Amino acid sequence: MDLNLHVQGRIGGGTVIVARGDLDYGAADRFRLCVERALQPPPGVLYLDLRLVTFVDSSGIGALVSAHKQAERAGSRLVLESPSEALLRTLRTAGLVSFFGLPPG
């Protein structure tokens, strides 16, 4: 399934990127570009709504790590909001749960 991305403002501030589908090799560059654009100008907090992400491969994990670093460089904070179970499993396997500030197990 392709990755659909939708950027919107959030009541109370910040910007939200809603992702739906597969965050994989074919979508990673588009995801990175979407994050880059959402950080112009820096929103303070960039929320990634990932509840509808159905699959993540190593390229997708790389894109999430890159998003975290992009947000830091822009002076924003990145928040993974409601990550899907598929994404949580992959983050646990990669040892990145604490990197993204998610609760363990």
Q: 56 and 89 in contact (C-beta within 8 Å)?
A: no
Q: How far apart are CA 70 and CA 35, in angstroms?
A: 8
The domain limits of the chain are: 4-78
Residue carrying the six token digits 């790389």 = 62
Ordered per-residue pLDDT tens for the chain, 105 residues: 799 999 998 877 899 999 999 999 999 999 999 999 999 999 999 999 999 999 999 999 999 999 999 999 999 999 999 999 999 999 999 999 999 999 876
Q: How far apart are CA 67 and CA 28, in angstroms?
A: 10
Alpha carbon 89 to its chain centroid, in Å, reads 15
pTM for the full predicted model: 0.92
Q: 2 and 22 in contact (C-beta within 8 Å)?
A: yes
CATH number of 4-78: 3.30.750.24
